[in-house]
Structure 1
Amino acid sequence: MQQGQPPAQPPPPPRSQDERASDRPHIPAPLQRESGNGLLGLKVRNFGPLVITQNYQGMGGTGSAVWQAAEAMLQMMKLPAYMSMLHGRKVLELGAGTGINSIAAAMSNATVVATDKDPDSLVLVQSNIQANQHLLPSRHHVAVRTLAWGNQENIQAIKDEFGLFDVILGSDLLFEALHGELLVTIYELCAMQGVVILTHSPRDYRREQSLLDSFSAYFTTNESKVPGTSVVCTILTRKVRYY
């Protein structure tokens, strides 16, 4: 900025449909219970020391399974640079699904809040946390909370209980219909010096790039491929505002 010129005005905060209409999240049917030798739709997988139960009958058939983007994030969190980024930080996971990356973050001595809007996913996350509790450092646990993107009541409840977050995690979150709500949620819950780590498996480059570009008014973005995968990792950092 040249001397004598007033600072540029910051862009207005993003808006969501929640500010124009009441939020009515879809409530899925309860998980199907025991049939034969197991639970319908449930599958247990090992990810190193983690034992994770997945539910392929979750919301939309996608939310409560470990897909490639989540595995890639798990791989990244094993690297020293990311372990250092998480250590001692306050971390929020959006669309937690199975909770695998929330649990992995807690293993790096982070204080973690795992969120999802699907009630069945939240039950599954809690179950997976309990199954892997022995891997977590003492005094570190993962809180589980409801969070529908863009829902101001949910967002405010998270703020009131936990404050803002140093790190926000999310895998495969780039859904066009909900992108405005995702942006609002990240903007409202990310601390001023916070970092957002998103991974996604490319499906529609132009659409996904357009969605990521919309973050540029509020965040600096840095994209790279996760080694050995087709997954894209996007790092967002809050832009400093001058008033």
Structure 2
Amino acid sequence: MDTLSTYFVEETKCMRGRDEEEEEEEEEEDSGDEEDKEEEKYDSQNKELAAQAQQKPAWAPCFFYRTDKEVYYYVGQEITIEGAFDSYAGMIWPAALALSHYLDTHREQLNLEDKAVLELGAGTGLVSVVAALLGAWVTASDLPEVLNNLRVNLSRNTRGRCKHTPQVAALSWDYNLERSYPTSVYRYDYVLGTDVVYHHDFLDELLATMKHFCRPGTTLIWANKVRMESDLTFTENFKKAFHTSLLAEDGDMKIYMATCREEEGEGDKELEIQDVLREEEERKNKENEEKLVEEKHNEDKLHSVTKEKSKAATEVPHMSEAERGDDKEEKNEHECDEDEEMEETVDEYKEDEQNKPENNDSNCSNTASDDNSTAAQRDRTPAWVPRFFNSLDKDVYHYVGHDIVIYESIDSYGAVMWPAALALCSFLDNNREKVNLQGKEVLELGAGTGLVAVVASLLGASVTATDLPEVLSNLRANVMRNTRGRCTHMPKVEALSWGYDLERTHPTSVYRYDYVLAADVVYHHDFLDELLATMKHFCRPGTTVIWANKVRMVNDVTFTENFKKAFHTSLLAEDGDMKIYMATCRE
């Protein structure tokens, strides 16, 4: 068993020759006077920058940068991966990096050259790209909703580099895969899966899918980082279902290799029996069809002789029986063609992709063939699949000693980063003794992008981030991305509409919190009264409300006055129009 090493290390080396240094020294002597003149200019600029830095608000983020894509280095190639952080499948998870590194550094142990490889839950496609660069014939599968980004990443990083062009296919985990993916057709040398075990309700279907594709002669490689109890339960079931061995381990990160428990000979024998039964069934069907044709011919002759006497008695029943026979034949032909439908569609897409320009990789759209190939396979959309949003660039903040990656969205107010959120995060991070969230139950109203909820979670709180249903997808993705493996308590994301009748849906006897947080929830909307009623509902004896707000309009001033009347309030921090209040109930 190996120990996982660091996935990738960036090294920057600057080398200069002696000749270059001598030339630079001569140039420095000649330009010395010019530099002296420019020093005064630089000094004045530095003074201006220092003055601006002093005026910078205390709540401004400590660390900030933008980036559109992530670049990895495997198999001697730079691999550019663009995320689609609208869902779990659009993120790079640690196990994908671990497995990519393992495949790259253990080519003799796992030789993927010319092997048929299926990846389950391919997500952004990093593992599939690495496998394709290693010479495998890869089929990357995931839910139809995330295939666009997966296809773009695969095409961008493998075109002109790989021996075999990877394919993309829609696959929903299920028990009844024999109909859409018969094992007699879809046979693979390797089945790969990375971090496919997360918090969802389809772990049994995932295991059934693994068992379906892991036939005699197939090797299943599954990489996972243990985070929750469901991971341990799935691992136990995984070990019961397969012959397993641990390939590599690094703390909570584990890579397993598995093969099916059926013996090789028994599997081949079973396939032979199935072939014999299939041939026997086809022979019987052919005999039945010939018999039906003969009966139809005889009935037609009888019908022509006794047309007027027995039209109603013979034509209708016998014609309908013959039609049923024809329908049965057409159905059998359709079932035979259904097995080849996906392969034909992928081949058509592969030809189309070769003719596409490179600059179309960020605006990939579904083709008609994609819709046809996935319609029969998509029986249902799992409940854990979030809605899609139009993502903007990601912002990276630094609080509680962690880089926090936040994606905004242009779909609503709730998916944009507002200044009060930054102010409240800075206050919570720098005033941990005054506001101790360790082990506390915290509710955030109007969580938006989730930055405050993430910071509170990193500070040790058990957080419930709430907002309208329309923005929960982006909120959930941001929260999960920045807290998994970092927090004592996994934060929850729930829908909550402000209103007066919350006792029915959120009774105070059940929903009790130590802190209620809110940042920039007072903007241009018609629900300020409902917001105040919601704050009063959750602010019970023993609860502290912390509300951060930047005053912009008359609505802000009016709401602040009503807020002070409803609670015992105190001003925690103030910076111009930015104010942070602490409040407790008057009861």
Give the superposition deviation at 1:47: 0.5
Residue identity matched to 2:407: T
Distance 2:459 2:516 in 1: 15
Partner in structure 2 of residue 201 of structure 1: 550
- C-alpha contact (below 8 Å) 1:166/1:195 kept by paired residues: yes
| Residue 37 in structure 1 maps to residue 362 in structure 2 | yes
Residue identity matched to 1:211: F
Partner in structure 1 of residue 529 of structure 2: 180
Distance 1:234 1:84 in 2: 12
Q: Alignment partner of 1:101: what SS?
A: helix
Structure 1 regions of 5+ residues with no counterpart?
1-29
Partner in structure 2 of residue 12 of structure 1: none
- C-alpha contact (below 8 Å) 1:222/1:235 kept by paired residues: yes
Distance 2:532 2:517 in 1: 13
- C-alpha contact (below 8 Å) 2:457/2:483 kept by paired residues: no
Q: Which structure shows the bigger proportion of residues in strand conformation? A: 1
TM-score, normalising length from structure 1?
A: 0.73
Structure 2 regions of 5+ residues with no counterpart?
1-85, 88-147, 150-359, 364-388
Partner in structure 1 of residue 422 of structure 2: 71
Distance 2:564 2:531 in 1: 14
Partner in structure 2 of residue 152 of structure 1: 501
Root-mean-square deviation (Å):
2.9
| Residue 51 in structure 1 maps to residue 400 in structure 2 | no
Which residues of 2 match residues 2-13 of structure 1 at below 5 A?
none
Distance 1:161 1:64 in 2: 31
Give the superposition deviation at 1:36: 4.7
- Residue 210 and residue 123 in structure 1: after superposition, are their counterparts in 2 closer, same or farther (change >3 A)? same
Distance 1:134 1:69 in 2: 25
Partner in structure 1 of residue 583 of structure 2: 236
Partner in structure 2 of residue 89 of structure 1: 440
| Residue 219 in structure 1 maps to residue 567 in structure 2 | yes
**Equivalent residues, number:** 203
| 1:188-212 per-position Cα deviation (integer Å, ceiling 9, x unaligned) | 11231211111111112x5422212
| Residue 164 in structure 1 maps to residue 517 in structure 2 | no
Picking from 125, 133, 136, the partner of 2:475 is 125
Distance 1:110 1:83 in 2: 15
| Residue 102 in structure 1 maps to residue 453 in structure 2 | yes
- C-alpha contact (below 8 Å) 1:92/1:165 kept by paired residues: yes
| Residue 210 in structure 1 maps to residue 535 in structure 2 | no
Give the superposition deviation at 1:67: 1.6
Distance 2:534 2:486 in 1: 27
TM-score, normalising length from structure 2?
A: 0.32
Give the superposition deviation at 1:170: 0.9
Of residues 99-108 and 39-48 in structure 1, the stretch that sits farther from structure 2 once superposed is 39-48
Distance 1:149 1:54 in 2: 22
Residue identity matched to 1:100: L
Distance 2:433 2:423 in 1: 13
Residue identity matched to 2:517: L
- Residue 177 and residue 40 in structure 1: after superposition, are their counterparts in 2 closer, same or farther (change >3 A)? closer
Give the superposition deviation at 1:164: 1.6
Give the superposition deviation at 1:166: 1.3
Distance 1:202 1:84 in 2: 23
Tell me which of the two structures has the higher relative contact order, counting C-alpha pairs closer than 8 angstroms and 6 or more residues apart.
1
- Residue 82 and residue 158 in structure 1: after superposition, are their counterparts in 2 closer, same or farther (change >3 A)? farther
Residue identity matched to 1:68: P
Percent identity between the two aligned chains? 24
- C-alpha contact (below 8 Å) 1:167/1:197 kept by paired residues: yes
| 1:86-108 per-position Cα deviation (integer Å, ceiling 9, x unaligned) | 22211111111111111110111
Give the superposition deviation at 1:83: 6.9
Residue identity matched to 1:46: V
Partner in structure 1 of residue 78 of structure 2: none
Q: Which structure has the greater CA radius of gyration?
A: 2
